[in-house]
């Protein structure tokens, strides 16, 4: 919808400049901005808290980091781009020879105009990131370093929205909120999740929806640690990120490989992209799918991390992403939700003879469908194959009807008590 595109574009533009990290005020500000769109519960986990095999690190806040050349001219300034400082750099003030400074400068000789994104969350160090062409013209001499940051006990912050449905079975949508000054990774995931949360909030749904906005890895671990003893009944899940480029969709299966979300998404991305099998690298699906939790959580992206030149650089900016691509990806997830709401494998609750459809006002329920004949055929196919042995995609295939028509028919049959799923 055009309204969604506008919201997505505005949200990403507002979030882009914030100085995010896995902790700190930039991440809090990010959650506050998301909270202006959807009612978000915000949690703080103190530094030092054990979360599974990890420990929440000290909180990092960037005030400003600058590097000046021997003549006092600015080389880099985080006021221009906060990628310029290694994320989680410790505070430093002093003069350094170019030779010793060089060990702490990061650039990309193969992409000389781009600033790389570097982090060091769990190992104390410091450094600057700059374009290789800027680096190439640095002359000998003593450089002035001023990394004005705070790094000390504080908290990790994450956001959560739980939208209760009629049944406790949950759909989990998770996205990370820790990348500074980049758009595809990860503002598009945030914007898509917000779009989906707005959908979940619009009406009472059958399933319960849980949206997590967490710092990558440590945030997902913190949430899992908090719920380890009484894990909610997560029946389906998706990690979202990298949805705004012009590439086709890529669905990565959960570790289980054959969960309902895997079956449905494999079907839905056909013709729009590809499905890849599970591998133990990537985003927070690594945590949700770890064998102790083994949640049925897949991942939806477009361009896959590490495979495009703008990835984790200043090239991943607002002009690299398109709101309509984010909305198109969210629309595919809404098709998934429709399938999950209906029940992937429906069961006819009146299987002895054909139920009498006329008296149930079913044709009006398919009101939007111009073709009454295909509506009738959809009802008959669903009732005929809903024996617990066929999923909605198989039924659509056998019927030779579009999946949305079959989903709509199944939802109408469920509404009048003829179908369970």
Q: Which residues bind Zn ion (CB under 5 A)?
A: 185
Question: In the bound complex, what is the minimum distance in angstroms from residue 283's beta carbon to Zn ion?
Answer: 7
Q: Which residue is nearest to Zn ion (CB)?
A: 185
| 310 vs 304: CA distance, rounded Å | 11
Cβ–Cβ < 8 Å for 172, 288: yes
Cβ–Cβ < 8 Å for 107, 132: yes
Cβ–Cβ < 8 Å for 209, 197: yes
3-state secondary structure of 194: helix
Residue 23 structure tokens: 């902790």
Q: Which is nearer to Zn ion, 123 or 202 (by Cβ)? A: 123
Q: Which is nearer to Zn ion, 101 or 300 (by Cβ)? A: 300
Q: Which is nearer to Zn ion, 185 or 245 (by Cβ)? A: 185
What phi and psi values does residue 394 have, to the nearest 5 degrees?
-65, -40
The strand pairing partners of 328, in sequence order, are none
Q: Which is nearer to Zn ion, 9 or 116 (by Cβ)? A: 116
Question: In the bound complex, what is the minimum distance in angstroms from residue 52's beta carbon to Zn ion?
Answer: 21
| 43 vs 255: CA distance, rounded Å | 28
| 190 vs 178: CA distance, rounded Å | 11
Q: Which is nearer to Zn ion, 26 or 260 (by Cβ)? A: 26
Question: In the bound complex, what is the minimum distance in angstroms from residue 312's beta carbon to Zn ion?
Answer: 6
* 266 CB-side CA count, 13 A: 17
3-state secondary structure of 93: strand
Question: In the bound complex, what is the minimum distance in angstroms from residue 111's beta carbon to Zn ion?
Answer: 16
Q: Which residue bears the tokens 């908290």?
A: 155
Question: In the bound complex, what is the minimum distance in angstroms from residue 306's beta carbon to Zn ion?
Answer: 9
Contacts of residue 100, Cβ cutoff 8 Å, sequence gap at least 6? none
Question: In the bound complex, what is the minimum distance in angstroms from residue 305's beta carbon to Zn ion?
Answer: 6
Q: Which is nearer to Zn ion, 299 or 365 (by Cβ)? A: 299
Question: In the bound complex, what is the minimum distance in angstroms from residue 311's beta carbon to Zn ion?
Answer: 8
Q: Which is nearer to Zn ion, 185 or 391 (by Cβ)? A: 185
């Amino acid at each position: 919808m055009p309204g969604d595109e506008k919201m997505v574009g505005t949200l990403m533009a507002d979030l882009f400049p914030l100085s995010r990290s896995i902790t700190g005020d930039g991440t809090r500000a990010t959650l506050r901005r998301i909270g202006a769109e959807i009612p978000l519960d915000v949690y703080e986990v103190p530094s030092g808290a054990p979360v599974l095999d990890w420990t929440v690190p000290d909180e990092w806040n960037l005030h400003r980091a600058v590097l000046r050349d021997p003549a006092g001219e600015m080389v880099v300034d985080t006021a221009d781009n906060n990628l310029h400082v290694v994320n989680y750099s410790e505070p430093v003030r002093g003069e350094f020879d170019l030779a010793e400074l060089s060990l702490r400068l990061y650039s990309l000789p193969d992409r000389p105009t781009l600033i790389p994104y570097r982090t060091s969350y769990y190992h104390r160090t410091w450094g600057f990131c700059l374009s290789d062409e800027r680096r190439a013209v640095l002359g000998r001499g003593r450089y002035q370093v001023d990394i004005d940051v705070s790094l000390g006990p504080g908290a990790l912050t994450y956001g959560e929205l739980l939208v209760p449905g009629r049944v406790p079975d949950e759909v989990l949508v998770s996205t990370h909120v820790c990348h500074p000054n980049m758009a595809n990774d990860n503002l598009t995931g945030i914007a898509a999740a917000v779009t989906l949360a707005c959908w979940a909030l619009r009406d009472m749904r059958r399933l319960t929806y849980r949206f997590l906005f967490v710092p990558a890895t440590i945030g997902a671990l913190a949430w899992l640690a908090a719920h380890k003893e009484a894990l909610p009944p997560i029946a389906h899940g998706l990690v979202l990120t990298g949805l705004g480029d012009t590439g086709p969709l890529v669905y990565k299966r959960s570790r289980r490989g054959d969960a309902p979300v895997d079956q449905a998404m494999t079907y839905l991305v056909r013709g729009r992209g590809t499905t890849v099998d599970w591998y133990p690298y990537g985003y927070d699906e690594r945590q949700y799918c770890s064998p102790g939790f083994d949640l049925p959580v897949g991942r939806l992206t477009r361009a896959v991390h590490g495979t495009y030149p703008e990835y984790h650089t200043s090239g991943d900016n607002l002009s690299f992403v398109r709101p309509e691509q984010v909305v198109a990806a969210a629309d595919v997830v809404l098709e998934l939700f429709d399938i999950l709401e209906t029940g992937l494998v429906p069961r006819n609750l009146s299987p002895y003879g054909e139920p009498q459809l006329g008296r149930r006002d079913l044709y009006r329920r398919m009101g939007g469908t111009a073709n009454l004949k295909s509506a009738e055929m959809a009802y008959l196919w669903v009732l005929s194959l809903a024996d617990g042995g066929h999923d909605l995609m198989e039924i659509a295939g056998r019927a030779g009807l579009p999946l949305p028509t079959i989903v709509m028919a199944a939802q109408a049959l469920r509404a009048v008590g003829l179908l369970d799923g």
